[in-house]
Amino acid sequence: MAVSSTLAFSDSIIQGRQFCENLRLGSYGLSSSNNLKLKGREPRWNFCSMNSELMLARLRFGTESSRKFPILSSLTPNITGEVASPLEQRVYDVVLKRANLVKEHQKSDGLEMKLDIVLPGTQQMLNEAYNRCGEVCAEYAKTFYLGTKLMTPERRKAIWAIYVWCRRTDELVDGHNASHITSTALDKWESRLEDIFSNRSYDMLDAALSDTVLKFHVDIQPFKDMIEGMRMDLVKSRYKNFDELYLYCYYVAGTVGLMSVPVMGIAPNSHATTESVYGASLALGIANQLTNILRDVGEDARRGRIYLPQDELAQAGLSDEDVFEGRVTDRWRNFMKNQIERARKYFEDAEKGVTELNQASRWPVWASLVLYRQILDEIEANDYNNFTKRAYVPKCKKLIALPVAYTRALIR
């Protein structure tokens, strides 16, 4: 893949300076402090100081299983055994499109790249940009960062760049300036995303992502969908049924899998369809977000939010008042058992796809799956009290889980 780099046109420089100044001032919700304190539910991602990144704001970097995940339709049961809804079909249509794009661009190993015209110092600046992304990942996702060290250098750097963009995006609605974020600010962030995919970067972190999406043929739609999830957080605090909640989980977490699969790669000897691997990555994102929601019920309630299906609450004989008052009753326990069972089914389906990933990419994904699934165990150990007790996996269990995840990563 040819890679070229040019200096920005003067208008791009001016726009870049203004946008970065807005970022520095917090106009778009990015924290200016490394000490992040995010709202309620654990952030899907967040971000830290951008002071060191702004030095490159004037540059424009250009870089030219036995049961497969089912194809969802109104007549086909989904992975939970339920009939797929139109919203689920809408999400899976995205999965199919992403998988087809990968097929079009697949090469022997997907990493063959040739540099075309590179201005003096440009590659060094890109290396610095990727290193900065790695520092952010190491600081805020230590376990995941450790797993990425097993990847090939190009894959590792690309995953860092995607990770950082997602953290910055989440910071818009979950960071210090979240109360000032409007739909207009998210529109500007989406416009900036389009610039990144058109090889116009406002800072060094943008440059790393721009380089990544061209090297690995990453599509823009999952990134746009994540921004759509941020828009939902601005206006929506209740979900009538699981269909609505499923769409939200896709927007804020399922999208990450669709962004990452082209980078992580599918094992050369895999007989699974590309669609099934993408479907499993979506399932893992849904499972992780459902786990976040179940763990953080109390924290969300204190912010006036309930990320639980309203119709299922009513069927269990529960109301919003029960959630806000934090009543751990038999009705609540039974309700939580059903919610946990659903999340575990998504984890089970995700397992089938993880084994099909390129071996060098499996460990961080396995670690995420194993550790997050254990949070559900901790909720049960707390007698389903997720109002005043935060379920977390003790460090000793994490230490035991990591070699287990590593062993699974080695075996298909």
What was the pLDDT predicted at 68? 32
Say whether pTM exceeds 0.85.
no
Is residue 284 within 8 A of residue 354, CB to CB? The reply is yes
Question: Torsion-angle region of residue 395: left (phi > 0), alpha (psi -120 to 50) or beta?
Answer: alpha
How far is 124 from 260, CA to CA, in rounded Å? 25
| Measured distance CA(4)–CA(119) in Å, rounded | 8
Closest CA to 74 of 63, 66, 85, 65: 85
- d(CA 75, CA 83) in angstroms, rounded, equals 7
pLDDT of residue 102: 59
Q: Which residues pair with 266 in a beta bridge?
A: 357
Angle (nearest 5°) at CA 171 between 170 and 177: 140
Distance from the Cα of residue 345 to its chain's centroid: 19
Distance of alpha carbon 328 from alpha carbon 145, whole angstroms: 37
Residues lower than pLDDT 70 in the chain: 1-85, 87-88, 90, 92, 94-95, 97-121, 412
Residue 164 sits at φ, ψ, to 5 deg, of -65, -40
Residue-level pLDDT at 44: 41
Q: Retrieve residue 151's tokens.
A: 């990847």
Three-state SS string over 354-392 comes to HCCECHHHHHHHHHHHHHHHHHHHHHHHCCCCCCCCCCC
Q: What pLDDT score does 97 carry? A: 67
Cα–Cα nearest to 154, from 162, 143, 144: 162
pLDDT (0 to 100) of residue 231: 95
Joined together, the tokens standing for residue 114 give 């040739």
Task: Look at residue 100 in the predicted model and tell me its pLDDT.
Answer: 67
Residue 243 has what pLDDT? 95
Q: Give the 3-state secondary structure of the chain.
A: CEECCCCCCHHHHHHHHHHHHHHHCCCCCCCCCCCCCCCCCCCCCCCCCCCCHHHHCCCCCCCCCCCCCCCCECCEECCCCCECCHHHHHHHHHHHHHHHHHHHHCCCCCCCCEECCCCCCHHHHHHHHHHHHHHHHHHHCHHHHHHHCCCCHHHHHHHHHHHHHHHHHHHHHHCCCHHHCCHHHHHHHHHHHHHHHCCCCCCHHHHHHHHHHHHCCCCCHHHHHHHHHHHHHHHCCCECCHHHHHHHHHHHHHHHHHHHHHHHCECCCCCCCHHHHHHHHHHHHHHHHHHHHHHCHHHHHHCCCCCCEHHHHHHCCCCHHHHHHCCCCHHHHHHHHHHHHHHHHHHHHHHHHHCCECHHHHHHHHHHHHHHHHHHHHHHHCCCCCCCCCCCCCHHHHHHHHHHHHHHHHCC
Please name the amino acid found at residue 286.
I
**Residue 327 tokens, joined:** 């009543």
pLDDT, position 227: 97
Which of 2, 6, 25, 22 is CA-nearest to residue 14? 22
